[in-house]
A = this chain, B = another copy of it.
Amino acid sequence: MVQLRETQREGRTSEKKREILEAASRVFRRQGLHATGMRDIAAELDMAVGNLYYYFRDKEDLLAFIQQTTLSGLRRLAARIEGLDLPADARLWLLLAGHVALLNEETPGSLGHLEVEALGEERRGPIQEGRDAYERTFRRLIDEGVAAGVLQAPDPKVAALALLGAANWSVKWFRPDGGKSAREIGRDLADLLVRGLLAPRRAGNGFASPSLDLLTALLEPSIHPGEEP
């Protein structure tokens, strides 16, 4: 019985944290990360600021939570995609399109994902490790595609970082009311970027993107607020 109450309380806390994440995201998008204080986020939630401090010690604590949540979602997605029985170019496409979809659609606080420098050193360490591990998935898929002769990348490291940059930057310009869904934007971005990596013998024939339905199946459910990266 005590056990049950404990679990219920954790469930409520987790749900509340997700609500806070969504409110913070709206405020960050509106006025930027720098200019946003805990007071603004509390106001967005119609919550006393003291109450907000019950869930997050300070803005950095909230930012760390945002980063952790986003990163664990990305890593779960990457693990699913790496294990698929598909050519490396198709898996790279899914990872890229999924990255854009997840940052802009499923993780409301993803603007914080761009700002790992905003965390203090203590918190930055484990998150940076998680990011590095995630980024290595891009490298592995590119290397695999090159080895299989379907991709070309004179500098796979630069290629991986170019892909990640284009995908991350979408957070700065994607608008939920912009006419295209985050998955469609992900598809457009991934089409362009994977085409840029195709080996010459493949490039002339073009690249047949995997379906958005497959992407959708891979994406859900991928966000669990507060999970370790």
Interface set of A (CB-CB < 8 Å, partner B):
31-35, 114-115, 117-118, 120, 153-155, 158-159, 161-170, 172-173, 180, 185, 188-189, 191-198, 200, 203-204, 206
Contacts and interface: CB of A to CB of B under 8 A. Distances in A.
Contact of A189 (B162, B189, B200): B162
Total copies of this chain within the assembly: 2
Nearest to A171: B165
Chain A's interface: helix, strand, loop or mixed, by majority?
A: helix
Contact of A163 (B166, B167, B180): B166
Nearest to A60: B34
A149 B67 CA distance: 42
Q: What 4 pairs between A and B have smallest CB-CB spacing?
A: A165-B169, A204-B204, A196-B196, A32-B117
B118 A35 contact: yes
A125 to B, nearest CB: 14
A166 B192 CA distance: 12
